[in-house]
Structure 1
Amino acid sequence: MLISPVPIVEIDEFFMGILGFEWFGYGFGGMGMTFLRTPMNRRSHSIAYAHMPGHKGLQHLGLAFNALDDIGITQDRVFERELKMQMTLGGHTNDPVISFYHFTPGQIPVECLWEEQPWIDYNVGFEVNPTTLSTWGHKVVGPMVGATVRPVNATATAPAPAVREVKDGKVAA
């Protein structure tokens, strides 16, 4: 999910009017979000964004897995490495997705997700604009907005990464 200082109507026009994405829903609780998918993608959504005045960035990115077991194995690895969690395993209200949210070692928020089946009809079995995020789980156990969302006027404080030379397929010291 992307966070934008630009009003949703303007972003909708870009993704739907120019790029040809299809509308999927507005997210739970009327929180000023939009979920879209490409016409070729039968998953519930390909991109989501929310309006947060004065802020921009990445609230989380989603990684789709092929099997539910892959989600469990990945969650075990996240726990073994003691990575920071955002939300526990849970099932979404607005789509047939089971997922959990965590932070990478670089503090990028990631949703690891498995979607039961491709969608043919938007309104079969799930709410397009639900009042809650989840039917079960997704307990918040970490920050919902991480370091990847910043005020629009914030200046970067980290130095640019050093450029390293590659010789014979190896990074030179």
Structure 2
Amino acid sequence: MAFEKATFAGGCFWCMVKPFDTLPGIESVISGYTGGHVENPTYEQVCTGTTGHTEAVQITFDPEVFPYKDLVEVYWQQTDPTDPNGQFVDQGNSYRPAIFYHSDEQKEIAEASKAALDASGRFTKSVITPIEPAQPFYAAEEYHQDFYKKSNAHYSRYRQASGRDRYINSHW
């Protein structure tokens, strides 16, 4: 069994873990930072908006059990792919949506999926989520990992108040 990695940015990383964590073939889902110019950034540094990083999740998965194309479909259903400036209540570069590909095959799958979603007419605005090459990924601090398990009440309140669930329910 050869595991692969998938990296997705979709706003607050707390909200991006649970949808992937429970899928078959998922080895791990790590909250972290990618796309910036500072090595080993801290949450506080990323929040300043000066490091260039975005919050993301890095998924280790078995493509024989859960193919990458299916992960991309799950990703779209967790985000607003028409908002280039962030996700829901969280705005700014550190919350921008993006798919970071780890191979040419992932790039092709993500681009085809994006084109199909944009052509579907599901959204009134264009699907703008960038598809970019994977960059160094830095795991976030331990208290951010599996936040939905560690602080379920806080996670649930935040997710509801962010507008994410309302948007997802109205579009999917």
Q: Which has the higher strand share?
A: 1
TM surpasses 0.5: no
Query: TM class by shorter-chain length?
Result: under 0.3
TM-score by length of 1: 0.25
TM-score by length of 2: 0.25
